[in-house]
Chain A
Amino acid sequence: MSNSLERYKYDIVVIGAGGAGLRAAVEAREAGLRVAIICKSLFGKAHTVMAEGGVAASMGNVNDSDNWMVHFRDTMRGGKFLNHYRMAELHAKEAPERVWELEMWGALFDRTKEGKISQRNFGGHEYPRLAHVGDRTGLELIRTMQQRIVALQQKDARDHGDAESFIKVFAELTVTDILKDNGKVSGAYGYWRESGKEVLFEAPAVILATGGVGKTFKITSNSWEGTGDGHALALKAGGNLVDMEFLQFHPTGMVWPPSVRGLLVTESVRGDGGVLTNTDGIRFMFNYIPDVFKDKYADNEAEADRWYTDQANNRRPPELLPRDEVARAINSEVKAGRGTEHGGVFLDVSKRLPADVIKKKLPSMWHQFYELAGVDITKEAMEVGPTCHYVMGGVEVDPDSAAAVGVPGLFAAGEVAGGMHGSNRLGGNSLSDLLVFGRRAGIGAVDYVKGGAANPVSETSIHTAQEKIEKPFKQEGGENPYALHQELQEVAHNLIGIIRTKSEIEEAISKIAQIRQRAANVTVGGERLFNPGFHLIFDLDNMLLVAESTAKSALLREESRGGHTRDDFPGMNATWRQVNHISSFDGNQVNVKQQSLPSMPKELFDLFDIHELEKYMTSEEIAKGGSN
């Protein structure tokens, strides 16, 4: 078999061709290395394309009071101070350069009157901070990165006679294993989705940029690709996941019609003036402002409405609270019987802005509702409810180099990496995250490759990877992978979803274990040629590991914080803030241990008002005043 095996040798293999993966690849190529970019979809289709609102960067184009320190504070606050401070610091400092760089590569952001990049308001950001292109910023970002890759390939064609001499995109290819030899990464193994034919990549460094895990849940804004591949690959390669209990349920997903349930309704709708009401017509968010945010959010409609035109003298509307707060509020309203017949609440921008402004500022939203739900958002309210959107947890990495802890040669950036967003991500911080840490992962991998020796792949590693791919075709009489996936989604949605409790999490853990047992015997019909049932088997295996990790971390954390809400432990607890949950995989099951969260150095600690920190930290931490 291995005689006919398709083999490639690269310096770096990047798995995932969204913003983070492409940014990493650009960095690696510019450092002179040879890079393979692998994606499950066609080139340019990755989930980054779905990002709507914008990319957060404190350029200060609209309000010059903005700077990296304000952005850093907002990010830590949004994450309820569970963020890795160093990641949040690097992110806030480097985001503006990354945005400007996109512009140098041809991106065309919306402009201010002075001709600078325009910036819009968003939940949790103190100043207008999100560079944007209408509500299709993700498309602009991925197309710019894609075209940057093409530009580099065109240059390689001129300089080296072959466009693919340094960067080659392997589209529609699934990676099933990170290969390791001598305790270090030696390559990656996978198959062409089109033909089912297996492929070996020999490379001393692998960058994971695989995005999220949303497809583990029944209602999600994620596309089919969000199956936690990178999370699971890292676990299986001996890496760790940090804080997998934290999932962001975006407050506003579509709830009707059923076929688009979960599809994202951008936060810009609220940033641009949209308000949330229940079926009694009450603007309910005023009832859900937590104590920690009372000084920043308006407690009456008059002040909230004034804020849109005068931000200096008014507090923000509560519709713009961080996403976890809004999602929980909607959930409570629906539970209390004040929701729509489809289980949502109303989000209305039609009474707030003229029709032409809505179409100009929110073109994709208009399009999406008009075409898919038959709703004209310039005339009617939208029906919205929470949808599984983003995983804050992810591969435990070194903040500066994006190197995965415990696996030499493995790197991770973007949604697949953990730590940056703490317990909750602010809108707009995802696109900036993937640019900042995509670049850093590129640099990290380049330094690693340049500093190390070759690490050839052993025949044993290849053989093990091959057996795994062949197994489903050899089995008979097992279950249908689609049915198992649906079962897993139900379990995740009902038992470890937006609101959790001990007995339900325990039930989830046992059910996930049962599904995993059954999944081991799954069978697949047909041939290897473009066979979606066969593809799902590997995705399912990944999602099961992710779900197990989430459930076990959720069980341990006996408090509610950000994207983890425990009905049986409703409060936030300063002692728990000092704890990270680290998942690892022993070959049979996921084990979760506790680890201390790195504490902020004094210069970052001092950026905050001490009274604000008192709401989050223990008195010992406050007394200590930072780590040095």
Chain B
Amino acid sequence: MARKLKLRIWRGNSTDGGLQDVVVDANEGEVVLDVIHRVQADQMNDLAVRWNCKAGKCGSCSMEINGKPRLACMTRVASFEEDETITLTPLRAFPVIKDLVTDVSFNYKKAMEIPAYEAPAELKAGEARMAQVDVERSQEFRKCIECFLCQDTCHVIRDHEENKKSFAGPRFFIRIAELDMHPLDMLRNRKQKAQEEHGLGMCNITKCCTEVCPEHIRITDNAIIPMKERVVDVKYDPARWLGSKIRKRDGIL
């Protein structure tokens, strides 16, 4: 059942590179990562590709397939036309290291900027009680496998290197939302900080991030929009603004 598959793979490094055509056998049921591995084993031993679990669970094999940010391990060869050439390029929003491998350290830097979970001081191990319905909202965001496809596709940074400094990106908006909705987290002001320090305001909810999410997390609808709405609520409601100043409960949101 093998078919000949035409691939066009970007090869190069941080300074130079281009697309190279290669023809490779593809068997029934295979995914793009399988054929990349076959190219690597038989034709280009030093072809660089990052991967790990090959099951859509670790988020390592992110790349652009025909220009779309996708996981190579979850993209079936059968989803392409018989004579279609599949073009494989590295993630565009991040600097290339080699071939299909990019430097994603931007994301780890942003992770460092999000204040960590803060447990209630008096809570003892084993005594936490939370309702399933209350943990589910955060659990949706904790499904994130950190493939950074949402970061790659987000037009705020995709072609705007200058925005990276002040914009955490969708992955970290759901991290903030997750902590904000965590039934026990004690740190206040997460939403305002998202707006003021992490660039939530730069997002104009085009939902590109939601579209590429392999975990089908509703990034825009369930994390970004609710946070934006609550921030707007407080910012432009004079009574609430005054209340928060008087009672010093600015973290009540």
Contacts and interface: CB of A to CB of B under 8 A. Distances in A.
Interface of A: 41-45, 47, 49-50, 59, 96-97, 100-101, 103-106, 108-111, 114-116, 118, 133-134, 136, 139-140, 143, 147-148, 150-151, 153-154, 157, 163, 194, 223-225, 256-260, 263-264, 364, 367-368, 371-373, 480, 482-483, 524-527, 529-534
A63 to B, nearest CB: 16
A196 to B, nearest CB: 11
B28 interface: yes
B3 interface: no
B176 to A, nearest CB: 13
A371 B55 CA distance: 10
B55 to A, nearest CB: 5
Interface string B60-81: 1000000000000010100000
A108 B53 contact: no
Nearest to A52: B57
27 contacts: A41-B52, A104-B125, A105-B119, A108-B142, A111-B130, A115-B129, A136-B143, A139-B143, A140-B142, A147-B116, A147-B117, A150-B112, A151-B117, A194-B98, A259-B34, A260-B31, A264-B55, A368-B55, A372-B31, A372-B55, A372-B74, A480-B45, A529-B48, A529-B97, A530-B99, A531-B48, A532-B49
A533 B37 CA distance: 11
Given A49-B58, A368-B56, A529-B98, 12 more contacts: A45-B53, A45-B58, A101-B125, A104-B128, A115-B128, A150-B111, A194-B97, A225-B52, A257-B30, A259-B31, A532-B47, A534-B46
Interface in B1-46: 13, 27-31, 34, 40-41, 45-46
B123 interface: yes
Contacts of A110: 132, 135
A96 B124 CA distance: 13
B50 to A, nearest CB: 7
Contacts of A150: 111-112, 116
Q: Which of A49, A133, A533 has the most CB of B within 10 A?
A: A49
B146 A259 contact: no
A239 B169 CA distance: 46
B53 A47 contact: yes
A622 to B, nearest CB: 38
Contacts of B49: 532
Given A143-B142, A259-B34, A530-B97, A42 B60 contact: yes
B104 A42 contact: yes
Nearest to B143: A136
B108 interface: yes
B125 A259 contact: no
Closest 4 CB pairs of A and B: A257-B29, A526-B46, A106-B117, A151-B116
B112 A223 contact: no
A154 B115 contact: yes
Contacts, number: 173
Given A104-B125, A373-B29, A163 B112 contact: yes
Contacts of A108: 130, 135, 138-139, 142, 182
Given A45-B60, A106-B117, A154-B116, A529 B13 contact: yes
A176 to B, nearest CB: 19
A104 B122 CA distance: 11
The prevalent SS among residues of B at the interface is loop
Interface residues of B, number: 58
A224 B52 contact: yes
Contacts of B112: 150, 153-154, 157, 163
B45 A532 contact: yes
B117 A105 contact: yes
Contacts of A257: 28-30
Contacts of A114: 129
B145 interface: yes
B212 to A, nearest CB: 15
Contact of A111 (B50, B60, B131): B131
Given A42-B104, A111-B130, A223-B53, A527 B28 contact: no
Nearest to A105: B117
A133 B142 CA distance: 10
Contacts of A527: 46
A304 to B, nearest CB: 28
B128 A103 contact: yes
Contacts of A531: 45-46, 48
A41 B56 CA distance: 15
Contacts of A533: 40, 45-46
Contacts of B48: 529-532
A100 B182 CA distance: 16
A378 to B, nearest CB: 16
B105 to A, nearest CB: 9
B139 A49 contact: no
A169 to B, nearest CB: 8
Given A45-B60, A100-B126, A111 B45 contact: no
Nearest to B46: A526
A104 B179 CA distance: 13
Q: Which of B99, B112, B126 has the most CB of A within 10 A?
A: B126
Contacts of A104: 119, 123, 125, 128
Contacts of B29: 256-260, 372-373
A255 to B, nearest CB: 11
Q: Which of B27, B47, B101, B142 has the most CB of A within 10 A?
A: B142
Contacts of A154: 112, 115-116
Contacts of B41: 480, 482-483
A524 B45 contact: yes
B59 interface: yes
Contacts of A103: 125, 128
A372 B128 CA distance: 38
Contacts of B46: 524-527, 530-534
Contacts of A133: 139, 142
Nearest to B144: A143
A364 B13 CA distance: 35
B165 to A, nearest CB: 17
Contacts of B76: 371-372
Contacts of A368: 55-56
Q: Which of A263, A367, A532 has the most CB of B within 10 A?
A: A532
Interface string B119-160: 100010110111110010011001111100000000000000
Contact of A100 (B40, B57, B58, B125): B125
A532 B125 contact: no
